[in-house]
């Protein structure tokens, strides 16, 4: 099925389809060429975004080889180049292939965030306690199209139901943004938490760096992040050659908790003091 929010436009149509149209809805103009490798990476992301945003913006594609004068007028120096038009004026642009997360951030400067109706429906099922129904709905979405929101929500279900290998498998396919890193850290530490007693015993018998890190991650996964931070901070403060895994483990716990957690601010400062 043709995407109603994507159209190929020539120089003759540019004023009507881009400049004038952008007074009614944001228009993203994709300058591309058939021979351009990065264009083949970016174009599917742009077209998928146009379909997902369902009219919140329109995508116009301009072949630079067929519209050289227009490309020069727009000062296109490399492709792909994407220019956003709002209110009849260019208001932002980028060049080169970008990740889905970077593209979404660019788009949301002009159209605001959007939600995926199918993912929203799955979330509604979760709210009613129908975890199995939500999982089935999310898996169904992912069989027909890519959706980071669906994948992250599915991974969260896997984490909540103690299926960490499945969660990590889903997360491994996603853009490593802050939320993905948080979920990966959560899955890893929840796995460690299941072995908290054995890690505690190993650490008490031999507090080497490997046992220290394993014990601290297990504590964090079990909801005792503050104790885990202290276990790691002791190693960082010693500044031994083998203390870097402790620093990295603290960063991983920061990612799991998220920047809004009060502990993160406190222990970031303590980590900085221990390092410098």
Contact 229, 263 (CB under 8 A): yes
Per-residue burial over 14-31, b = 16 or more CB atoms within 10 Å of its CB, e = otherwise? beebbeebbeeebbbbbb
Tokens 């970016």 belong to residue? 42
Instruction: Let me know: does 255 contact 182? Beta carbons within 8 Å.
Output: yes
Residues of the chain by 3-state class (helix, strand, coil), percent to 5: 65, 10, 25
| Catalytic residue flag (residue 39) | yes
**Residue 185 in 3-state DSSP?**
helix
User: Strand order in 27-32's β-sheet?
Assistant: 6-8, 58-63, 27-32, 81-86, 89-95
160 in catalytic set: no
Which of 6, 28, 39, 155 does the annotation list as catalytic?
39
Q: Which of 9, 27, 29, 36 is catalytic?
A: 36
Catalytic residues: 36, 39
């Amino acid at each position: 099925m043709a995407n109603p929010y994507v159209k190929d436009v020539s120089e003759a149509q540019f004023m009507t389809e881009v400049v004038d149209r952008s007074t009614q809805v944001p228009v993203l103009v994709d300058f591309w060429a058939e021979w351009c490798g990065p264009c083949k990476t970016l174009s599917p992301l742009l077209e998928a975004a146009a379909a997902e945003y369902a009219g919140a913006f329109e995508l116009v594609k301009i072949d630079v080889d067929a519209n050289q004068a227009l490309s020069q007028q727009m000062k296109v120096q490399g492709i792909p180049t994407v220019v956003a038009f709002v209110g009849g004026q260019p208001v932002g642009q980028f060049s080169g292939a970008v990740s889905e997360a970077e593209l979404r951030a660019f788009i949301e400067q002009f159209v605001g965030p959007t939600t995926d109706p199918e993912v929203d429906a799955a979330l509604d099922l979760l709210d009613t306690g129908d975890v199995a129904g939500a999982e089935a709905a999310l898996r169904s979405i992912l069989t027909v199209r890519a959706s980071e929101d669906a994948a992250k929500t599915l991974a969260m279900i896997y984490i909540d139901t103690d299926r960490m290998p499945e969660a990590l498998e889903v997360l491994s396919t996603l853009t490593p943004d802050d939320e993905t890193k948080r979920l990966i850290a959560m899955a890893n530490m929840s796995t460690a938490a299941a072995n908290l007693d054995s890690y505690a015993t190993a650490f008490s018998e031999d507090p080497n760096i490997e046992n220290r890190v394993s014990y601290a991650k297990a504590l964090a996964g079990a909801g005792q992040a503050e104790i885990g931070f202290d276990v790691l901070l002791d190693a960082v403060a010693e500044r031994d050659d083998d203390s870097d895994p402790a620093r990295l483990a603290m960063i991983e716990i920061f990612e799991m908790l998220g920047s809004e957690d009060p502990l993160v601010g406190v222990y970031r400062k303590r980590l900085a003091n221990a390092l410098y």
